Amino acid sequence: MWRFQLCNSGAIHAQDVGAYTDDMTLIGELFGAKDFGLELILNRPGTLRFTMPLSDELATSVKEGETCIQAWRDNNAGTQVCRWSGPVWSVEENLVDRTMTVSAVGWFEELNHRIIRLEQESTARYTDMDAGAVVLSGLTSLLGLANVQSWRIQSSGWAGLDMRYPTHITAGTYDSTVVNMTGNTVNASDTLTIPGGTASLAIGMPVTGAGIPAGTTIDAILSSTTVSLTANATATATGVTLTITLVPRTRSYARWSNIGQAIQELSDVENGFDFEVDPLTRKLNLYFSSIKAGSTLKGKGTDRPNALFMMGWGASNLSSLSVNSDMASVANRVTVSGANALATVQDDASYAKYGFFEEQVSLSDANATGLILQAYGMAELAVRSTPRPMYSLAPFPWTPDGNVPRLFDDYNLGDIVYLRAKGGRKNIGDPNPQAVRIFGVSLGIDAEGNEKISAIQTTPQS
């Protein structure tokens, strides 16, 4: 069952300290509200909307920006868990019906309203840094720059005093390691053998381990089990424990650049991270770990082989399923340019079928080599050379004794779930269930706290 609370957002007016007061203290339960609609989107703030009577005892306490909404729902063990929160963003009052419609957004939206200031431009330069450090590490990171912004009071007694107005978001954790990787090295050779496979790796990723010199990165993907490194190994060994992390980034942000958009760009770029703001601590957490064994997919999520959605196949648990594919996103010839290099890649089979669909991409990494640009272009072709379907699933309501997977317990944003369906132009998941990744969930909640999922937005995965 869902429940919703009106809370204080937390004052951020502490002079030259940036400390918070009234940090999401409870104002009251929204018992009189109804028609809740919640949109959860991977790597985006998400939104919540509901209506309540103007005569409700909490109506006058709802204040844009100053108050926030916490959305709670129980798990399978019966424990209430805060699933989402964000500040009240807009209120629309209908004086005839005597109702008000309230909209709230996720906390990340605050960063979409912060910019790199003139005096911060020289600081907002990052060379060969892990993307997580660009976003989170210290006062010179993108988040740090947002949280040290201030204005100066020029009045008697307070002349020249800096008043800081940070966001409500603070730095969280960065899960950036590709786990469970072992390899075999050969002394004086740059070839590294990885028995577990190279599908989750990319050119430019830093590699550390016994017998591998400091500062070594992946220079090329040679095969499904071998890569070449930028430095020769100093020992011959089998089963070396490897730490392989995110491709380093070089970025320079000009004055007036939007900080939230800069973080989203680092997430959306090839080999980017996933992120979320914790609904209770309001810490910004980043994710870049392998999601599925043998897959190139990295970020936030888990492979959920037992989360199976079906239509027209076995015990159907979907009330509706739509498939959308079009040519709008197709690209079969991609030119990728960096500061000092250029690479063009194309898919011969695709343009023989559809003709040329060309695109140019500029990467701001100043140190991007031709190999890195080529790898980026090939990654684009891998998912865009043909029309790529999107599946929108609407499951039947969950029941404890049914076969419908339950949101948050059996699957979540970023997870890989599985789909089988008949009835379209071609079967989905035949003979084996199709892996799909969840990037959005839309649900409605009635006045009693019962949820109905109207859409689970997914894309196919290999």
- Domain ranges for the chain: 2-105, 113-175+249-290, 179-244, 333-384
How far apart, in whole angstroms, are the C-alpha atoms of residue 303 and residue 415?
6
Of 94-103, 174-183, 309-318, 335-344, where does mean pLDDT reach its minimum?
174-183
Instruction: Give the pLDDT band (50/70/90) at residue 41.
Output: very high
Which pairing describes strands 80-94 and 67-74: parallel, antiparallel, or unpaired?
Answer: antiparallel
Say whether pLDDT at 366 is over 60: no
Kindly state the tokens that stand for 43: 């790597």
384-404 average pLDDT score:
93
Cα-Cα-Cα-Cα torsion 232, 234, 237, 240, nearest 10 degrees, comes to -80
Say whether pLDDT at 386 is over 80: yes
Residue 243's pLDDT is 84
Of 44-48, 133-137, 186-190, where does mean pLDDT reach its minimum?
133-137
Determine what percent of the chain is predicted with pLDDT higher than 90.
Answer: 65
Say whether pLDDT at 210 is over 60: yes
Q: Which residue has the higher pLDDT, 418 or 132?
A: 418
Residue 33's pLDDT is 97
Q: Which residue has the higher pLDDT, 13 or 211?
A: 211
Residue 148's pLDDT is 86
Rank 118-132, 261-275, 331-345, 445-459 by mean pLDDT and report only the highest: 445-459
Say whether pLDDT at 174 is over 90: no
Of 21-30, 60-69, 106-115, 153-162, where does mean pLDDT reach its minimum?
153-162
The mean pLDDT of the chain is 89
Q: Supply the pTM of this predicted model.
A: 0.85
Residue 268's pLDDT is 86
Residue 302's pLDDT is 95
Residue 206's pLDDT is 85
Residue 18's pLDDT is 46
The amino acid at 233: A
Residue 11's pLDDT is 65
10-32 average pLDDT score:
71
Q: Which residue has the higher pLDDT, 112 or 292?
A: 112
Q: Which residue has the higher pLDDT, 138 or 284?
A: 284
406 touches 398 (CB < 8 A): yes
Of 207-221, 228-242, 301-315, 366-380, where does mean pLDDT reach its minimum?
366-380
273 touches 284 (CB < 8 A): no
How far apart, in whole angstroms, are the C-alpha atoms of residue 230 and residue 232?
7
Residue 16's pLDDT is 46
374-383 average pLDDT score:
79
Q: Which residue has the higher pLDDT, 390 or 180?
A: 390
Residue 403's pLDDT is 94
Residue 130's pLDDT is 80
Instruction: Give the pLDDT band (50/70/90) at residue 417.
Output: very high
Residue 297's pLDDT is 80
Say whether pLDDT at 361 is over 90: no
98-127 average pLDDT score:
95
Residue 77's pLDDT is 94
Residue 288's pLDDT is 84
Say whether pLDDT at 239 is over 90: yes
Q: pLDDT, tens digit, for every residue of 133-147?
A: 899 988 899 999 998
151-175 average pLDDT score:
68
